[in-house]
Amino acid sequence: MKKKRCIAMLLAGGQGSRLMPLTEHIAKPAVPFGSRYRIIDFPLSNCVNSGIDTVGVLTQYQPLELNDYLGTGTPWDMNLRYGGVHVLPPYQAAEGSDWFKGTANAIYQNIRFIQRYDPDYVLILSGDHIYKMNYDKMLEEHINNRADCTIAVIDVPLEEASRFGIMNTDGKGRIIEFEEKPKHPKSTQASMGVYIFSTDKLIKYLIEDENDKSSSNDFGKNIIPKMLDDGQRMFAHLFKGYWRDVGTLDSFWSANMDAIGMPEDEPEKLILNDPGWRIYYRHDSNQPQYIGEKGEPKNSIIGGACDINGKIEHSVLFNNVTVEEGAFVKDSIIMDNVKIGAGAYVEYAIIDSDVTIGSEANVGGPRENGKLSVIAKGIKVRKKGRVKQGDILTKPEEEEETK
């Protein structure tokens, strides 16, 4: 078989508990984003645009919808006879493997997939970040540095650095110390969870880590520190561009709003329609959107088959959303197949798919108050019902308590 220069392994099995209730029935990488995409579309599109045509997608938690979405990889031009997108769930092998125990163990269980393509380099990615990055530039840097491992980093404000794994480097970018969420960070170079390994070194350390019964089998906790202790050549690749970890409801909301452009954060706008760096996705056959005579969309993204007869302001609407006359939606994310009744009010909220908000109902409140409201998939809010600001509504009967 033809040898691959570099393949990617995309970690997409996380439960995403901090994104509940959006992840109650689907894996975090399958969560819809930006009116038409899924979170996983971003790292997959980065691979396509970077010339990487072989991607192993490691799934575990609630994989059904993600597996259906990926299919044979056609939307990302990865329906190849040799290469393409491959879904790699945990499996029971003769030697007794089981669920992925950590990020490193997930890759370890799929060493044979890596060896099948005999790549010189392996790119390890997370499936829950929103960003646009040319991995080929990072790979060239890795090769020029004769590195064993290269870790993508992004400069973060000092006051936020304690939330991340921090890479301390010398004047040439070589990593000399790694600190996991330090109380007093020595630098502001935060790990993005994007790694390039020379294949032989990756497999060596994965096997050693798997044989260490005290290990957590995690790249950040075990593999990276061990390689540093052993004096391996490890370098930081500084990424300058948009990047967001959407692991919480607040960060997920913020990233969607970045696609519109927050007035106070205009340089941080996420450009989704960049012809030079397309974000590929699985298309739905939707009818065009309809803006009625009394529909007033302003500074918003509106998906296909929407029927807008109310006022929409600074919001992201997915497909097949109905907003009836007199309704008002502001600073909100409205997912597929939602109906917002006449005269209803929705502000600073995330409304999951298949929700019905009754006429004259009231959901959420001003963003300045700092409390995001969330309504889970399939909930019906009664006519003139009330969902208070900051509430997370997961059961129909909860709305009765807040009406």
| pTM (2 d.p.) | 0.91
Q: In this structure, what DSSP letter does residue 284 have? A: P
Secondary structure of the chain: what % helix, strand, coil (to 5)? Answer: 25, 25, 45
Between CA 231 and CA 220, with CA 3 as vertex, the angle to 5 degrees is 35
pLDDT at 398: 55
The answer, yes or no, to whether residue 78 has pLDDT greater than 80, is: no
Average pLDDT score over residue span 219-234: 95
Tell me which of 11-15, 45-49, 102-106, 326-330 is least confident: 11-15
Residue 402 predicted with pLDDT over 60: no
The pLDDT, as a whole number, for residue 401 is 46
Over the stretch 148-170, which tens digit does the pLDDT of each residue have? Answer: 999 999 999 998 899 889 999 99
Backbone angles phi, psi at 180, to 5 degrees: -90, 105
Residue 65 has a pLDDT of: 78
Q: Is the pLDDT of residue 180 over 70?
A: yes
At residue 60, what is the residue type? Q
pLDDT at 97 exceeding the cut of 60: no
Q: What distance in Å separates the CA atoms of residue 244 and residue 266, rounded to the nearest whole number? A: 15
Residue 262 has pLDDT above 60, yes or no: no
Question: What would the two tokens of residue 312 be?
Answer: 């929409």
Phi-psi region of 290 (alpha: psi -120 to 50; beta: other; left: phi over 0): beta
pLDDT tens string 116-154: 999 999 999 998 899 999 999 999 999 999 999 999 999
- For residue 403, what pLDDT band results from cuts at 50, 70 and 90? very low
How sure is the predictor about 294, in pLDDT bands with cuts at 50, 70 and 90? very high
Q: Is pLDDT of 108 > 50?
A: yes
